[in-house]
Amino acid sequence: MTEGKEVRVIGRRKEAVAIATATQGSGIVRINRVRIENVQPEMRRLMVTEPLAIAEELAKTVDVDVHVQGGGVIGQAEATRQAIAHALLASAGKGAQALRRAFDDYDRALLVSDARRNEPHKPSRSSAGPRRHKQRSKR
């Protein structure tokens, strides 16, 4: 990454959207203005740091600020890890192909968004669910 260059990328999972901004720096990662070391619970922190562990040397030269909203705790964590992976990949420069291969070998969800979404509710029974029908009696 060249000096002063800023990269913005998006990660999505379910209803959660994470926007990551990567700049030249010393490896500081913040999620909603909280340093990654202070993210709780620990399982969420471990999930979010996976791309940083794979990128090792590159992660120490890039600062990443992530703003995440929507969805639940796990959806936000998965959107955040995807955004961080995309930010590292965008700032990798010449080593991007090797890093992409490493991410792909570890977990394809780091780079590819999951297209599954909730099915919309159908008319006249919208509170019951998309496929729920009225129960019928045979006698």
State the residue range of the domain holding 44. 6-110
Contact 22, 61 (CB under 8 A): no
Is 96 contained in some domain? yes
Q: Where are the alpha helices (DSSP H) in 29-72?
A: 42-48, 50-55
- The strand ranges marked E within 5-74 are 6-13, 16-24, 29-31, 34-35, 62-69
CATH assignment of the domain containing 97: 3.30.230.10
> Could you tell me the pLDDT band of residue 1, with boundaries at 50, 70 and 90?
low
Q: Taking the model in full, what pTM does it have?
A: 0.86
Mean pLDDT, the chain, integer: 90
